[in-house]
Structures are given as C-alpha cells and as structure tokens.
C-alpha cells in the first residue's frame, strides 16, 4: 500500500536522525559528489547502497540497461551538469549481470517502443557476434553481452564532447566500467578506466573485440574480488 511507503519514510527519517542528528542538515548545506553513476533502472541495483555512500556523495543517472547515448538529452544534461557544475572526478558506468534490457535486445523479439532505446545494444551484439556465438551457455552469453555493453558505454562517454572539453581544459575526469552481480552483491571492475583521449584511443583502438579476453563473460575468472 502507498500508505506503507509514507510510514516507512517516517521511520527511515527518524532512524537517520537518531543515529546521526546532523545527517539532514549536511544534505541541505551542500551537494559536492565526486562521482557520477550511470546505472541500470533495475530496482535490485541501488547505487548508493552497493557502494556505501550517503545521498549527496553520489550523483546518479539511471535508465534501462545503463546506456550513455550521445543523442539522449536527458543523459547529456546529467553528464554536463555533473562535469561542468558539480565537477565530478569519476564517471562510473555500472551494468549488472542478467540485465533484462540486455536480454530483450539479445532476444531479437519485438517489445515496442523500448526497441528503439535498446538498438545500441543490438549494435554491440552484432559487433561481438562471432565471440558471443562461441559461448554455448545462454547465461554466460548474456553476461558477456552485459559486460560488452558496459565497455560500449564507457567508449561512448569517453567520446562525448562534454568529456573532451573537460579534458581539454585540464579537468581531471576518469571514466570507469564496472559490473554488478545481484547474486552476491559484489562489483567487478572491468579494468576499463579512461582518463584522457590518448587512453581512450588505446583502450578502444578499433572495435570492442580488441578489448575481449578469453574470460570475457565470466566475472569469477576476470575479477578475484567476486570469486
């Protein structure tokens, strides 16, 4: 019931104030996050909670399948505000395994309006087709595309004029590619950090396939943190 949410809010606010009397006063006084989070809308991936940050410490943008399209005015507005006004130092693109948006794009079925939004993931799937077809397990194949989608969005952010302008004026902004495992609550760093145009060209010299490793799609092998 909706009334339950209001009661939960009251209990939450009282609990926060009881544990930290200055908590809400700090939030009112300032918002100076060092991080912009570009994540999926999936309700099982609460950005602040999984990285242990309070509100005001993480600027969050979420959409279906954690995309960073250069044609989306909503995303561009968030990116520009985060970089030029808030002066964030890190842009984190965080996908998650088993992403429903990635699965929908991968299925080839029609889902209506969202098909237009998911087209960039289909493009990534086409780019990675030869590699994905070699993965027999459907869960691992989906997870491999979830990782490839993160890589594609890091590439998209790194190619964005807002980021290029920030780098040109000497502003320190680093873009990171992460993926979250809902089954254990752990994040895997996909080792896709980019801090300047030179690193971007080295990280993605031609196609995403250059980035692929033998363990692509298996976070347990790629990242001991989640093993």
- Residues with catalytic roles: 40, 42, 44, 96, 99
d(CA 174, CA 116): 29
Residues written for the chain: 227
Report the chain's C-alpha Rg in angstroms: 19
3-state SS track over 19-70: HCCCHHHHHHHCCCCCEEEEEECCCCCCHHHHHCCCCCCEEEEEECCCCCCC
Straight-line distance from the first to the last Cα atom of the chain, in angstroms, rounded to the nearest whole number: 39
Report how far apart, in Å, the C-alpha atoms of 7 and of each of 10, 15, 20, 25, 211 are. 5, 12, 20, 22, 48
Q: Which two tokens stand for residue 61?
A: 């943008």
Strand, coil or helix: what is 190?
A: coil
H or E element, residue 150: helix 138-158
Contact 223, 188 (CB under 8 A): yes
């Amino acid at each position: 019931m909706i009334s339950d949410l209001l009661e939960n809010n009251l209990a939450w606010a009282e609990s926060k104030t009881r544990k930290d009397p200055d908590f809400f006063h700090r939030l009112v006084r300032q918002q100076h996050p060092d991080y912009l989070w570009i994540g999926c809308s999936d309700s099982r991936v609460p950005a602040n909670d999984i990285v242990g940050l309070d509100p005001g410490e993480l600027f969050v943008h979420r959409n279906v399948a954690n995309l960073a399209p250069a044609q989306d005015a909503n995303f561009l507005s968030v990116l520009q505000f985060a970089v030029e006004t808030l002066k964030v130092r890190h842009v984190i693109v965080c996908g998650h395994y088993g992403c429903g948006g990635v699965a929908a794009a991968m299925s080839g079925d029609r889902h209506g309006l969202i098909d237009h939004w998911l087209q960039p993931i289909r493009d990534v799937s086409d780019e990675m087709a030869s590699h994905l077809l070699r993965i027999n397990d459907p869960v691992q194949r989906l997870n491999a595309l979830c990782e490839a989608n993160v890589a594609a969005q890091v590439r998209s952010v790194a190619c964005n004029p807002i980021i290029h302008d920030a780098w040109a004026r000497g502003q320190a902004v680093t873009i990171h590619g992460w993926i979250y495992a809902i089954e254990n609550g752990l994040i895997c760093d996909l080792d896709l950090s980019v801090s300047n145009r030179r690193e971007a060209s080295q990280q993605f010299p031609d196609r995403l396939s250059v980035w692929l490793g033998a363990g692509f799609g298996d976070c347990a092998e790629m990242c001991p943190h989640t093993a």
